[in-house]
């Protein structure tokens, strides 16, 4: 596996996009067999993905497992789900079933998905003729601008709210709050309610409420969110999961729609561009993602790209939380800048916080430091190959990148290098996909309007 564009500060980088291309070509040449992975989530929705593997018993079983294990993990974190269905090889299915247990190789993923969907993750084998087929939600979400609407955006350091009448933002408020350090859920409830009341006071009535929230939200319920990280689990289950539903009741029986902040960011970008098939990626404390499909809908997928593999090298950095290697959180966040600094010859004071370390590198970038430029050049190479991998699972025409890591000249270098990777390595994607860095002020206003536009008034 050789990259046409080299990651200059990471000689071991082995892009998942090239692994996929090389593996499937080699498997086909060896008389490959079809394999279909299905991921089932809430309401029986299923996402199916077809690929090819080596025939069982020809000495390639370990390669088969390693390849499918990465694909299953990718699909779980992009689509979300509690049941893994594999049609084809029984050997591969047995290995995946072994990995997704409380004590297995993918125990973190098992526990996380089991918690999100409130049911243990299971693995099911099927014959290839009974392979799962895609059955997704077709319910449109967003772009509803009629009536008097509240748009609320719950971030980890500030909360924003807007009053929107017939698509026009007539009032906006941004308040600093500290949800991540509050252990009493009443703090969160009071803050959310105060924000919404502030917006409601500027309108004759409230017709609908739209919420953009960090974390994983299913059917308007908060399943996992760092906003409530200090709240004891029992209290979280009792008072936090339905918090947005409970707050909305204070305004009467009005339509409510809660969506992940990454999806709302992608929706805001799509509305601004006047386009669909938009993948939004934020590079900040972690990597966040969101997607708007070909007809302008939010699909209800997780889009947790921080846990999606992008590097197949076994020497890749391991994420401390999940215990897995080569995942996006270490490639498209402030962690990526910090991990690459020593290779660039930049020594960062260990006493500094991650955000402060990022600022040091950004300061060097402003001074025209060639070492700092190499960091962004390398992240750009990572990103170009990652887009090609993401394109296996999303139909992408536009990619929006944002977040602290992409600010300033570093973001320009990053974007240019990612485009070069697509042009040289994946010309068909280069012709199809446009990359954008949206204007920050327009994005923030657009986010509130997009959140307000989530629910439909019937």
Q: Is 326 left (phi over 0), alpha (psi -120 to 50) or beta?
A: left
Integer-rounded Cα radius of gyration of the chain: 22
The residues facing 266 across adjacent strands are none
What pLDDT does 200 receive?
98
Domain 272-446 CATH (choose: 3.30.420.40, 3.40.50.2300, 3.40.1260.10, 3.30.70.20): 3.30.420.40
Domain 148-265: top CATH class: alpha beta
Find the length of the chain.
458
Are the C-beta atoms of residues 70 and 16 closer than 8 Å to each other? yes
Strands (E), 145-247: 148-154, 158-165, 168-176, 208-213, 216-218, 221-224
d(C-alpha 291, C-alpha 399), whole Å:
9
**DSSP conformation letters of 47-106:** EEEEEEEPPTTSS-HHHHHHHHHHHHHHHHHHH--SEEEEES-HHHHHHHHHHSSTTSTT
Neighbours of 437 (CB within 10 A): 16
Measured CA angle at 285 (ends 279, 289), to 5 deg: 15
| Sign, CA torsion 53/57/63/67 | positive
What pLDDT does 139 receive?
62
The residues facing 135 across adjacent strands are 46
**Which 3 state secondary structure label does DSSP give 415?**
helix
- pTM comes to 0.89
* CA 73 to chain centroid: 13
Long-range contact list for 131-134, CB < 8 A, 24+ apart? Answer: 131/36, 131/38, 131/48, 131/50, 131/87, 131/88, 132/36, 132/38, 132/40, 132/46, 132/48, 132/85, 132/87, 133/38, 133/46, 133/48, 134/46, 134/47, 134/48
Q: Which of 293, 175, 160, 183 is CA-nearest to residue 229?
A: 183
Contacts of 320 (CB under 8 A, 6+ apart): none
Torsions phi, psi for 355 (to 5 deg): -65, -40
Measured CA angle at 328 (ends 141, 64), to 5 deg: 100
d(C-alpha 228, C-alpha 163), whole Å:
26
Per-residue pLDDT of the chain (458 residues; tens, 9 = 90+): 789 999 999 999 999 999 999 999 999 999 999 999 999 998 899 999 999 999 999 999 999 999 999 999 999 999 999 999 999 999 999 999 999 999 999 999 999 999 999 999 999 999 999 999 999 875 667 889 899 999 998 887 788 899 999 999 999 998 989 998 899 999 999 999 999 999 999 999 999 999 998 888 888 999 988 889 899 989 999 999 999 999 999 999 899 999 988 888 888 888 888 899 999 998 988 888 999 999 888 888 999 999 999 999 989 999 988 999 999 999 999 999 999 999 999 999 999 988 899 999 999 999 999 999 999 999 999 999 999 999 999 999 999 998 889 988 999 999 999 999 999 999 999 999 999 987 755 554 567 788 999 999 98
Are the C-beta atoms of residues 107 and 121 closer than 8 Å to each other? no
Torsions phi, psi for 156 (to 5 deg): -80, -20
Do 148-265 and 272-446 agree at the fold level?
yes
Torsions phi, psi for 204 (to 5 deg): -70, -20
Structure tokens at 206: 């409230």
* CA 148 to chain centroid: 30
DSSP state letter for 430 = H
Please report where in the chains the tokens 């955006």 appear, as a residue.
Answer: 153
Domain ranges of the chain: 31-130, 148-265, 272-446
């Amino acid at each position: 596996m050789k990259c046409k564009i080299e990651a200059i500060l990471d000689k071991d980088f082995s892009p998942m996009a090239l692994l996929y291309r090389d593996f499937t070509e080699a498997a086909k040449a060896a008389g490959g067999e079809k394999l279909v992975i299905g991921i089932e989530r809430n309401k029986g929705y299923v996402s199916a993905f077809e690929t090819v593997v080596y025939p069982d018993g020809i000495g390639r079983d370990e390669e088969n497992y390693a390849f499918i294990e990465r694909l299953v993990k990718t699909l779980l974190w992009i689509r979300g789900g509690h049941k893994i269905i594999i049609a084809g090889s029984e050997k591969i299915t047995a290995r995946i079933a072994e990995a997704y247990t409380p004590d297995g190789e993918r125990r973190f993923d098992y526990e996380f998905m089991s918690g999100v969907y409130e049911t243990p993750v299971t693995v099911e084998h099927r014959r290839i003729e009974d392979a799962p087929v895609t059955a997704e939600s077709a319910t449109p979400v967003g772009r509803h601008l009629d009536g008097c609407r509240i748009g609320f955006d719950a971030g980890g350091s500030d909360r924003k709210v807007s009053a929107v009448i017939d698509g026009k933002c007539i009032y906006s408020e941004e308040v600093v709050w500290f949800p991540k350090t509050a252990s009493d859920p009443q703090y969160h409830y009071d803050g959310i309610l105060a924000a919404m009341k502030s917006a409601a006071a500027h309108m004759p009535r409230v017709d609908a409420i739209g919420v953009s929230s960090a974390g994983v939200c299913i059917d308007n319920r908060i399943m996992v969110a760092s906003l409530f990280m200090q709240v004891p689990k029992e209290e979280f289950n009792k008072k936090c999961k339905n918090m947005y539903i409970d707050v909305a009741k204070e305004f009467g029986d009005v339509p409510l729609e809660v969506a992940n902040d990454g999806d709302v960011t992608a929706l805001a970008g799509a509305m601004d561009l006047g386009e669909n098939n938009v993948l939004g990626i934020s590079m900040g404390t972690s990597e966040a993602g969101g997607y708007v499909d070909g007809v302008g809908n939010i699909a209800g997928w997780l889009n947790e790209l921080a846990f999606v593999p992008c590097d197949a090298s076994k020497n890749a950095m391991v994420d401390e939380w999940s215990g897995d290697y080569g995942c996006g959180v270490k490639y498209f966040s402030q962690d990526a800048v910090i991990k690459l600094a020593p290779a660039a010859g930049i020594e960062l004071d260990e006493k500094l916080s991650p955000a402060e370390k990022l600022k040091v590198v950004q300061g060097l970038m402003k001074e025209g430091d060639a070492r700092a430029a190499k960091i962004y050049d390398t992240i750009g190479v990572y990103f170009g190959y990652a887009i090609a991998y993401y394109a296996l699972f999303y139909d992408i025409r536009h990619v929006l990148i944002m977040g602290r890591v992409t600010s300033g000249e570093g973001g320009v270098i990053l974007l240019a290098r990612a485009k070069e990777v697509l042009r040289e390595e994946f010309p068909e994607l280069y012709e199809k996909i446009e990359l954008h860095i949206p204007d920050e002020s327009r994005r923030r206003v657009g986010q509130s309007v997009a959140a307000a536009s989530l629910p439909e008034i019937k």
